[in-house]
Structure 1
Amino acid sequence: MPISSPSPPHLVIAIPARDEADQLPACLAALAVQQGVQQDAIAVLVLANNCSDDTAGLARSLAPALPYRLEVAECCLPPRRAHAGGARRAAMDAGAALFGAASGPDPLLFSTDADGRATPGWIAANLAAFAAGADAVAGTYATDPTEAALLPASLRRWEAMEARYAALLEELATLVDSDPHDPWPRHAVHSGASIALRLSAYRAVGGLPEVPVGEDRALFAALLGAGLRVRHSPAARVIVSCRLEGRAVGGMADTLRQRLAQPDAPVDDRLEPALAALLRLRCRHALRRLHSGRPRLGDPARLALALGLPRERLRAIAAMPHFWPAWEELQRAAPALRRRPLRLADLPVEIARGRTLLKLLRLGRAVVSGRAAGPAGSDLRGFAR
C-alpha cells in the first residue's frame, strides 16, 4: 500500500472502500464542503480493498479537484481478514501511518464509510467534542432519505420506532446516571460511519479490534475499558445508505433484510424493557458512587441486596481501576442485570412506559430541587439519583 509522504496532516480520515465506485464520489464531495475547518490540515485516505471495480482509479481521478490531500491505497486482504473489521483496521492503520512521527498537538484519526456523506458540520462537531476534553467521539447517522423512501412502509415505521425508544432510554440514563464526560444531548450509537479519536487513544487500545462484525462497537468498548473519555455527539452526523444489498456481512443491509423476512425479529440488543433499564441505571449510578469513593449511606448494602451479590464481591468490583470495566464486570456477575431481548412488537408498550418514567423522574427532580434540603430518605434522592 504505497503512500506518498509530504508534510504530516493534523487530521486524517480513513475510508475503507470495496467496490464503491458508485458511492465514493458523493462521500469525498461531502468532505470537501465541511464548515469551520482548515482543509489544508486534513488528509483523506481511501483504502480500496479486494475491489472488482475501479474504486481506486476513480478516487485518483477526483483528487485534483478536492481541497484536501487525498491518498489512495490498494490492497487485497486475505480471506481471514476480508471483512468489515479487517478492512477498517487496514484503512485506519494506513491513515495513522500518514502522521509519521508527528509532534505537537495530538493528531486526530477519523473514519467513515465510502457510501456515507458527512453532514457539513461533521468535522467541526467532532473537533468541538475534542476541545471539551474527549479522547474519542462516537458520531451518529441518518439514513439516506431517497433510499429510505423506497423501503416498505412497515420497515420504515419500525425503524423510526426503535430510534424513538433508543432516544428515550438515553434521556432516562441522563436523568438517573449522567456521565460527566458525555452530557445530554447524547446518543448510544457506535457506528463505523462516524468514528473520531486522538491518535494516542487509537494506539493506547492497540488499534481497531479486527473482528468480522461489530468492529465499531468493539473499538468504543476498548476505549471505555481503558478509561478513556468517549463523547457521543448527536451533532457529528453522517448520512448513510440503507440499501438492501450491502457490502458488509452483518451490516445494516443484513439487518433490514432480516426485519423484512421476520417482522417480529429482536431489536438492537442494547435496548431493553423500560423498567429493566431503570433498574440497570440505578445500579450503575450506585456503582459509580462506590467507584468514585463517594458512596451514600447504605449504598453497598442496598446494591448488594438488590443484585444478590456478597458485599465483598461488590467491593472488589468497585475497586477496579476504571469505571466502565467495573460496570461490565458487575453486569456479568449479577443475574438480575441479564438483558431480556425486546422484539419489535414490544416497542409501542415500552415507548409509552418509558415516557411515563421520564415524566415521573422529571417531576421528582422538580420536587427535590424546589424544597429545602432534608434527610436523604426518598427513593429518588437515594438510589435513583
Structure 2
Amino acid sequence: MQTIGILLVRSTYYKTIGFDLYEGLRSGLQQLGRSDIRIVTENIGFGAEKQQCYRSAEKLLLEENADIVIAYIGHRTAQLLRPLFLAANKMLIVLDAGANLPQEWSVSPNVFYHSLHNALGAWLSSKQAVNDGYKKGGMVTNYYDGGYLQTYSLSKGFEDAGGTICFNHATGHIKEEFSMAPLKKHLDDFEDAAVLTLFSGDYMQWHFKEIKEHLNQDTPIYLSPFGFEETMLEEAIYPSNNTRGVAAWAKSIDNEENRIFIEAIEATGKTPNLFSLLSWESAQIALKALSLLKENKNNITKTAEALHTFEFTSPRGKITFHAKTNTSVSPMYNARIVPTENGMCQVELDGIIDSTTEEFEALAELELNTVTSSWFNSYTCI
C-alpha cells in the first residue's frame, strides 16, 4: 500500500485548518478512485519551529515510510527540509499560501510548490487599482499580515503600474489595538486615493467593521486573495460600495470540478474553503508524482522534469507548472464584494484574469535587494 504523509498546522483564527487540509486530501484521493492510499499525519504547530518541522517530516519518511510528503509551509521552511528529502530521495509537495516572496527561487527536483498566490494576487490587485484610475494609494495591513513580503508585491505592483504610495497604515494584531480611524485623515490629505489592503482571518471582519464606521461608503478598497476567503466574509459587515480586487477561488466558479469539490466536502459536514481546496488539488499532483516515480524507477530528476509539463483542471480552472520555480500557476479572478440581504458580505466574480502566468513570471523576476521577512510560520498560522 502506498503512503502519503501530510504535515498539518494549526491556527487560532482558522481553527479547522488541520481538518480542512486532511479532509481535502482524503476526499480528493477518494474522488480520484484511490481510497486504497494510506494517509499519515504529523502536527507541526504554527509551522514556525524549525526543529519540530524537521523531526515531523523525518518521522513520516523514516518511521511511516511515506512515499511522498505534503506540507502546508512556506518557502523558508521548505528550504530547511530540502536536504532531508534529498537524502531520502523522496518528494515534498509544499502547499503554499503564497504570501511571502523567497529571497531566491531555489529549485530542487525534490520540492514542488502548489500555491494560492496571495502575493501575486496583491500584485495584480494593486495594478487593477491604477487601471481603474487611482494613481494615489495607501497600503493598509496589520502587524501580522504585513510581516510577509506580499507587502512588497502590493506596493511594487502599484508603483510599476504608474501609481504612488502616499501613505501606509499598520494596525496592531489584537482587537483592542485594531483601528481604521487614522485612514480618515490620510484620505482627506490625499483625495481620490485607493486603500490597498492585506488582511486575513478575523482581521477582515474587524477591518470591514472599522471601514463602515470611519470612512465614506464609496471609498475604493482593493483586496488580495485572502481578503475574499468566504467563510470569514460570511460574518463580515458590508464595508463600502467600491470593494474589489483579485480572488484565487470562490464557490461560484462555474465548472464541473468546482461543483464536485464543493459537494464532496459538504458531504463530510465541513465547509469548503481555501485550505481544503488546496489539499484537494494536491491529491492530483501527488498521484501524478507517484506514478512518475514508479515509471522512472524513483529517479527524482526525471520525475521533476515530467511534472513541469503536467497540467490538470481543478475547481479553480487549469493548473500548470512554472518550470523555473517548480511552482504551480493557477487562474485568478477579478472580483468584488457585494452585500447579502442581511448586510453581510459575499463574493461576486467579474471574470478570469488571462495573464496570470506572465504576471507570475514578472513577480518571480523582482529584485528584492534589502527587502526581507523574518516570518517562518505558515501564513494564517498564529
| Structure 2 length-normalised TM | 0.24
Q: Which has the higher strand share?
A: 2
Higher relative CO (Cα under 8 Å, sequence separation at least 6) belongs to 2
Q: Which has the larger radius of gyration?
A: 1
Q: Which has the higher helix share?
A: 1
| Structure 1 length-normalised TM | 0.24
